[in-house]
Structure 1
Amino acid sequence: MDRHSVQWRGYIPAITTPFTGDGALDLDALDRLLGWLHQEGMHGIIIGGTQGEWFTINQAERKQLMQAVGRKLSGKIPLIAGCSGYTSQEVAAHAKLAADHGFNGILVTPPPYMVPTDREILAFYREVNDQVSLPICVYNWPPGTNVDMSLDLLQQIAELSNVVAIKNSTADLRHFVDVFFALKDKVRVFGVPMNDLGILLVQQGADGTMGAGAVLGRELPGYFNAIWDDDIPRARRLGDRNEVLMRAWFNTDYTGRFGSAQAIFKAALNELGLPGGYPRRPLLPLEPEGVRVVRQTLVQLGKVSA
């Protein structure tokens, strides 16, 4: 496999997982959210990723999620399952569920918390590669793993037979650009900023962004649609609107300014009248001041009334 083995491109959000106030998985809310995401023209979706709070979901719930998403959207848009875990065996078990329910690929970080060495990360991905059948998107997520994978390491991982893409969520812009130009002909590279630099990178062959939350709806895939249509003024307008949200809600390393990213996105969806639901403990809903900031930003963008 390589970049040509999949048709992933554009805006592919890592979606939130709706929970009720007492922490139960809310499949009815998920169904409504999936319907809205598809209607808004997402180029694919990721479930069970960082924004999907994979770290709180047990295997039975994971199966329910994959069944629900596969039943709703399999064959309609690309489906990628977040399958991160502490061991390659955990990842393989998650990946089997994804394959069984019509997913097109998996997203995998290095094992979190333990801060493995380059040698250990490469061995981990080799073991995952040998145990799974689906295409793999490697996820470089420094805030969650405490590792910003080097170009040399990513080049070695990209040679594995099932690796087709990299979601490079580094805050180091130079590193992102270096990885993109080194590997763009081998694997699909996601993580371009939605601004003028993003426009230039997409014009040079960058594949898109695996974003989060999708709270601006069709504006987000619209940014990439506009670039592909050579409507650069429209792409700039849509990118600027996303930048307003990112600056107001997130730090430069993509962590939340006034709560967890998951709580921020869920509060925003709720303010929009969409099924965001609640974060699951140990994460907590936003404090009232955080909700006020979220709503103020949405009012500024014309998404809700004052």
Structure 2
Amino acid sequence: MGIQWSGVMPAVTTKFTNEDTLDLVNFEKNIKAQVEAGVSGIILGGTLGEASTLTQNEKKILIEKTVEIVQKKIPVIINIAEQSTKDAIEAARLAKEYGAQGLMMLPPMRYKADSRETVVYFKKVANSTPLPIMIYNNPVDYGIEVTLDMLAELAECENIQAVKESTRDISNVTRMRNRFGDRFAILCGVDTLALESILMGADGWVAGLVCAFPAETVAICNLAKAGKIKEAITIYRWFLPLLELDISTKLVQNIKLAEVATGIGTENVREPRLPLAGEERNRVLAIINEGLKSRPILPDYKNL
């Protein structure tokens, strides 16, 4: 399956039972809600997916289960966030073996690689696999920026096809378009900059709050891409207080609490994370409840 790097691609949460095992019942409920809302792909094992706490066997189960649920309607993509090139190459091999159709790749973890090392890392992994790749450019959280000069070198690898743009610099979308044209698809990776990025030429949105509000997220993206800007802005303004729950160190707990409120998830996280408590929990619940009270009626965003 080729990947159209566009539209909304949820970075889904991983569901856990009270016994800290994979909760595939609630996981399936959420994935089906995403598909029904019209998302363009499913991304597993990102930050929201609590990837650093997952075993290799759990990643295998999640990929295989998602492939089964989506029934080839949309691609299944898994994040690669490894410490060594060797481990990243092996992760890519296993992803293909388990049935994933694409990869999202972070630079090396822990060690702060320089530009040359980072480019070589990406190239070696890309050259080891036929799977299409989206580079995850998030220097704010992960400490390494994939610059335009680095992307120019990575353009040699045909299967490096997209960039998840999370620098928080909205003008970077224009810089990429000016330099590379359509060589790379661009997907915004910051919920609070998504509409702005799409209006500046981004192809899509790797979203977080979509985990709890799939229809609203896809509606914003579809309306904006169809030129119905006022309609998109109206929904986006309603959504912004909720979207700000994504730009937090507790984004996983925040978004899982929102999933509970919309009936497509649970609060269970894997330790050392703990569910929200006390005043922090009350503050987040107040934002979620206010959003639910004023939840907009959506237009027919699937048929624009």
Q: Is TM > 0.5 for Structure 1 vs Structure 2?
A: yes
The one of 292, 297, 303 aligned to 2:287: 297
- Where does 1:59-74 land on structure 2 (aligned, <5 Å)? 59-74=56-71
Matches for 1:222-237 after TM superposition, within 5 Å = 222-237=219-234
What amino acid maps onto 2:194 in structure 1? M
8 Å contact kept, 1:66–1:97: no
Q: Using the alignment, how far apart are the partners of 1:180 and 1:267 within structure 2?
A: 37
Residue 134 of structure 2 is aligned to residue 137 of structure 1: yes
Q: Secondary structure at the match of 2:176?
A: helix
Q: Partners of 1:201 and 1:266 in 2: how far apart?
A: 30
Matched to 1:10, the amino acid is G
> Who is 1:28 aligned against?
25
1:285 — aligned with what?
A: 275
Distance 1:198 1:303, change over 3 A: farther
How has the CA–CA distance of structure 1 residues 126 and 198 changed in structure 2, closer, same or farther, with 3 Å as cutoff?
closer
2:273 equivalent to 1:276: no
Cα distance in 2 between the residues matched to 1:70 and 1:159? 30
How far apart are 1:303 and its partner, in Å? 5.4
Instruction: Report how many residues are paired.
Output: 290
Q: Are the aligned partners of 2:92 and 2:129 in contact in 1 as well (CA < 8 Å)?
A: yes
SS of corresponding position for 2:214 = coil
User: What residue is the counterpart of 1:212 in the other structure?
Assistant: 208
Amino acid at match of 1:212: G
Amino acid of the structure 2 residue aligned with 1:241: W
The Cα offsets for residues 89-131 of structure 1, whole Å up to 9 and x where unpaired, read as 3223322333234332100000122111001101101110121
Alignment of 1:33-182 (within 5 A): 33-182=30-179
Q: 99-108 vs 10-19, which deviates more?
A: 99-108
- State the one-letter code of the partner of 1:201: M
Report the CA distance shift for 1:165/1:25 in structure 2 as closer, same or farther (over 3 A): same
- Output the CA distance in 2 between the equivalents of 1:304 and 1:105: 37
Q: Over residues 139-184 of structure 1, what are the superposed CA-to-partner deviations in whole Å (9 max), with x where a residue is unaligned?
A: 1122442112222112222332310000011123333432343234
| Structure 2 CA distance for partners of 1:231 and 1:153, relative to 1, 3 Å | same
Task: State the partner residue of 2:257.
Answer: 267
Change (3 A) 1:120 1:173: same
Give RMSD over aligned pairs.
2.1
Moved over 4 A (4+): none
Residue identity over aligned pairs, in percent, reads 27
1:73 corresponds to which letter in structure 2?
A: V
Tell me, in whole angstroms, the C-alpha distance in 1 between the residues paired with 2:293 and 2:69: 27
- Contact kept? 1:6, 1:164, Cα under 8 Å: no
Unaligned runs of 5+ in 1: none
Please, what TM-score do these two structures have when normalized by structure 2?
0.88
